[in-house]
Amino acid sequence: MEKTMRGLGVSPGLAIGGVRRMGAGVGEPPAVHVGRREVPRELARIRPAVEAVADDLTARGERGGGEARAVLDAQAMMARDPALLDDVEQRITSGSGAERAVYDAFGAYRELLAGAGEYLAGRVADLDDVRDRIVARLLGVPMPGVPDSDEPYVLIARDLAPADTALLDPALVLGFVTEQGGPTSHSAILARALGVPAVVALPGAGALAEGTVVAVDGSTGEVYVDPEPARRAELTAAAARTAAAAAAATGPGATRDGHRVPLLANVGGPADVPAALAAGAEGVGLFRTEFLFLDDSRRAPSRETQVRAYREVLAAFPDSRVVVRVLDAGADKPLDFLTPAAEPNPALGVRGLRALLDHPEVLRAQLTALGEAAEGLPVALDVMAPMVADRADARAFADACAQTGLRAKAGAMVEIPAAALRARSILREADFLSLGTNDLAQYAFAADRQAGALARLQDPWQPALLDLVALSATAARDAGKGCGVCGEAAADPLLACVLVGLGVTSLSMSAPAIPHVRAELARHPLARCEEAARAARAAETADDARRAAGAVLSGHGPVSPGEPRSPS
């Protein structure tokens, strides 16, 4: 019988398919003693399990190619290592159960590797993965990590780390459902970037059995378990209507009455450019430069490396605006050369601009590299600083830009409530504002953005967050300057209309969201967006704000004087 579960929809669209679970770690198997008569049976289980795991690793390597192939082939060899297998078999002969014998034999080998110099010690994680795979196979539980499947599936996980998602094949993953993770968690951001429907913070998702068919509505957060044919048809038709509307709306972002709102893309490097261009991005509103350097965080990237990566992105957007954020290191994105090693509370520590002001040479080098990258290109380069707290921060950043002779507007991100409250003062130094609503919500509600349990407080529809947006946008309008949104809030089509109603002048988001936001914006005149914004701010809760704005935008709520009620 059909059952409905409710989480938080964080990436719109519909996915219908069988569930595959992200395998959790298998843990340490209990030490069971097997009697002499059971030894042959236990021994007979080992080789088939080892062979199956090794074959699976080899097959994955063939599919992945390149570096992945080398790593997976090496793991297959570890699985088949004759000395290791001998050790396992001896342990079984001495009375150990198969799972425990594998665990202990790999444990002994692990000690050897860990003490054998930096390169081999680095293989310990690979060895542990092989051990867990063999133990999982013996126990008959899902393999740890991303499921291996030739069939498209809906991925169920506790939460997804960036490393997990890097292994996902977007052609196979129809959608994500996670138990943890808030709307601004990595799972949500990555799902949007991949353009797959996703629901996060869904308690009980982990209990769905492998293969159960679900329909995931990434807009409403509803997950239908064993959906009835009528439900499937209804959801599919609604998704087709949304997709058709998104495809039909083309051209620059604007409200129905022609109020222009540039729709820009969030990118992490050159690899994200093609999707941004395909979605019709009018430029880049947030280039997260630290993403380029997270994999080797020990040393600052060289000038050449930086210039090359920046130039590739800048060259892709001729005659367009590209807003580059200087390195936002710290908290969940540590860069060893910039951020302190151990802080009691890194999200409230030396991160973002604070770290750069402690290392002015790194900031100078980045600004210089940006200037060089933009040379001769017809791009409108803007730069902005993350985690600006007050006017002194904004001035320090503007001064650094001026000192390097960079010809670019210097903006401030509004991510700290103090910056929104005193936006007027920050605008005396900054050329523009860009609202980072992910961090702004985190700090306004004292709610860690990675914590699924706090998703309610991370909801960008929270009226208090909308108040902070309104303060910033009004201050910018009075100063005659721009105020964009580049946090995840901009990717929600209804909320995007509300943000425009609050006075926001540009919206930047993951590329797949752009057509949906463009289509929704084009349905409403500016006055209606303003009305929706008033209705949302008058609400007491995020849900009520969403409902109130939704009612206005669907033509069922209060209407501005003089505006005809239209079904649109």
Smaller CB separation from ligand PEP, 49 or 191: 191
Give least dist CB 525 to Mg ion, A: 32
Smaller CB separation from Mg ion, 219 or 366: 366
Give least dist CB 402 to Mg ion, A: 24
Q: Does 487 bind ligand PEP (CB under 6 A)?
A: yes
Q: Does 438 bind ligand PEP (CB under 6 A)?
A: yes
* Closest to 449 in 3D by CA, of 203, 180, 177, 205: 180
Contact set with Mg ion (CB under 5 A): 415, 436, 439
Q: 186, 359, 516, 524: which one is catalytic?
A: 186
The one of Mg ion, ligand PEP, none whose footprint includes residue 487, by CB under 5 to 8 A per kind, is ligand PEP
Q: Which of residues 301-320 bind ligand PEP (CB under 6 A)?
A: none
Give least dist CB 458 to Mg ion, A: 13
Q: 401, 483, 486, 529: which one is catalytic?
A: 486
The one of Mg ion, ligand PEP, none whose footprint includes residue 486, by CB under 5 to 8 A per kind, is ligand PEP
Extract the tokens encoding 79.
Answer: 């699985």
Sole binder of ligand PEP in the list 486, 499, 509, 536 (CB under 6 A):
486
Alpha carbon distance 317, 328 (integer Å): 23
* Closest to 21 in 3D by CA, of 218, 160, 154: 154
Amino acid identity of 293? F
User: CB-based contacts of 382: which residues, under 8 Å, 6+ apart?
Assistant: 321, 322, 323, 324, 408, 409, 410, 411, 431, 432
* Inter-residue contact 482 to 474 (CB < 8 Å): no
The one of ligand PEP, Mg ion, none whose footprint includes residue 288, by CB under 5 to 8 A per kind, is ligand PEP
Alpha carbon distance 499, 372 (integer Å): 35
What number of other Cβ atoms are within 10 A of residue 258's Cβ? 9
* Closest to 72 in 3D by CA, of 86, 57, 83: 57
Q: Does 459 bind ligand PEP (CB under 6 A)?
A: no
Sole binder of ligand PEP in the list 21, 133, 192, 288 (CB under 6 A):
288
Smaller CB separation from ligand PEP, 54 or 486: 486
Give least dist CB 334 to ligand PEP, A: 13
Smaller CB separation from ligand PEP, 291 or 310: 291
The one of Mg ion, ligand PEP, none whose footprint includes residue 450, by CB under 5 to 8 A per kind, is none
Q: Does 519 bind ligand PEP (CB under 6 A)?
A: no
Q: Does 187 bind ligand PEP (CB under 6 A)?
A: no
Alpha carbon distance 327, 335 (integer Å): 9
HEC string of 170-238 equals: CCCEEEEEECCCCCCCHHHHHHHHHCCCEEECCCCHHHCCCCCEEEEECCCCEEEECCCHHHHHHHHHH
Residue 497 annotated as catalytic: no
The one of ligand PEP, Mg ion, none whose footprint includes residue 531, by CB under 5 to 8 A per kind, is none
* Residue 117, burial from CB neighbour count under 10 angstroms (0-12, 13-18, 19+): exposed
Q: Which of residues 231-250 bind ligand PEP (CB under 6 A)?
A: none
Residue 74 phi/psi, 5° resolution? -65, -40
Sole binder of ligand PEP in the list 436, 501, 503, 515 (CB under 6 A):
436
Q: Bridge partners of 199?
A: 9, 177
Alpha carbon distance 197, 191 (integer Å): 7
Question: What does the per-residue mask of binding to ligand PEP show for 324-343, with x meaning CB under 6 A?
Answer: ----x---------------
Smaller CB separation from ligand PEP, 81 or 328: 328
Alpha carbon distance 489, 487 (integer Å): 5
* Closest to 200 in 3D by CA, of 226, 218, 214: 218
* Inter-residue contact 514 to 263 (CB < 8 Å): yes
* Inter-residue contact 241 to 487 (CB < 8 Å): no
Alpha carbon distance 449, 487 (integer Å): 12
Give least dist CB 338 to ligand PEP, A: 15
Smaller CB separation from ligand PEP, 147 or 386: 386
Tell me how many residues contact ligand PEP (CB under 6 A): 10
Q: Which residue has the tokens 């699924």?
A: 452
Extract the tokens encoding 473.
Answer: 């946008």
Question: What does the per-residue mask of binding to ligand PEP show for 398-427, with x meaning CB under 6 A?
Answer: -----------------x------------
Q: Does 437 bind ligand PEP (CB under 6 A)?
A: yes
Q: Does 157 bind ligand PEP (CB under 6 A)?
A: no
Q: Does 286 bind ligand PEP (CB under 6 A)?
A: yes
The one of Mg ion, ligand PEP, none whose footprint includes residue 437, by CB under 5 to 8 A per kind, is ligand PEP
Smaller CB separation from ligand PEP, 435 or 536: 435
Smaller CB separation from Mg ion, 374 or 507: 507
**Interior CA angle at 60 toward 59 and 63, to 5°?**
90
Q: Which residues are known catalytic residues?
A: 186, 486
Site residues for ligand PEP per CB under 6 A: 286, 288, 328, 415, 436-439, 486-487
